[in-house]
Amino acid sequence: MRFLSFILTLTFTLGLAKGGCFPLARLKYGGGGDWYAGPSMLPNLAKRLKADLGLNVCPEERTVELLAPNLYETPVLFMTGHGRMEFSPEERQALKEFLRRGGLLFADDNYGLAESFREEMKTLYPQRPLNPLSERHPIFQSHYHFAHGLPKIHQHDGKTATANGIEMDGRIAVLFTYECDLGNGWEDVGTYPDDPAELHEQALRMGVNVFAWFLQGARAR
């Protein structure tokens, strides 16, 4: 019910019934990390969400800060980067309220974000661990079928790509993709010469799945 309440509030705020568009938002955070990495990520994903799901997605990304007035203009906050990130106590409270109302924090480790992100989540939810999602989780079947779970776009440390989530009220409120680099796969083909077009396609399909799953209620199981 909180999810539905959030979507209704979002619809009212944006005036979607009158032709407004669904915004893709990037979270700006402190701590020194490059929160702005990969400027072509979300615009490219927006095109696929419109083509695959029929969503009227805004073509340009929006920048959102946790203490800014535009926080509730979107139900999904995407964040990425390579370096350290941290939230202030006030930002943590704002994020907890955003998630409590049904929003989703979608963090994609661009290599180097994981340690500080996990620290922040442990501070935010000491009793709610980031748990790995199984290959049978609904997120891997919401639109495209990923039989083996999260695709691996970049090798980095050679570890298995994993999707992790923090659960509350039967849904996932925080999604963390690790050792994967989905965001890099959303960037323009050719940005990374060693990445074939097939990897970009897998990354975009998984991005579509994340939003399809969220719109289906971000089911925990």
Q: What is the pLDDT of residues 53-105, one digit of tens each?
A: 999 999 899 999 999 999 998 899 999 999 999 999 999 999 999 999 999 99
Q: pLDDT band for position 4 (50/70/90)?
A: low
Judged against a pLDDT cut of 80, whether residue 130 lies above it is answered with yes
Which pLDDT score, from 0 to 100, does residue 18 have?
Answer: 44
Q: Is 120 exposed, middle or buried (0-12, 13-18, 19+ CB in 10 A)?
A: buried
Q: pLDDT band for position 107 (50/70/90)?
A: very high
- Cβ–Cβ under 8 Å, residues 22 and 55: yes
Judged against a pLDDT cut of 60, whether residue 36 lies above it is answered with yes
Q: What is the mean pLDDT of the chain?
A: 89
Which pLDDT score, from 0 to 100, does residue 12 have?
Answer: 38
Beta-carbon count within 10 A of 8 CB: 11
- Contacts of residue 94, defined as CB under 8 A and 6 or more positions apart, other chains included, come to 66, 67, 71
Q: CA–CA distance from 27 to each of 68, 71, 114, 150 (Å)?
A: 11, 9, 16, 22
Q: Which of 72-81, 115-124, 171-180, 189-198 has the lowest mean pLDDT?
A: 189-198
Distance CA 81, CA 55 (A): 26
Q: pTM higher than 0.85, yes or no?
A: yes
Q: Which domains does the chain have, with CATH numbers?
A: 2-215 (3.40.50.12140)
Q: pLDDT band for position 154 (50/70/90)?
A: confident
Which pLDDT score, from 0 to 100, does residue 195 have?
Answer: 75
Q: CA–CA distance from 73 to each of 21, 115, 131, 155, 168 (Å)?
A: 11, 29, 28, 35, 22
Paired tokens of 182 = 């989905």
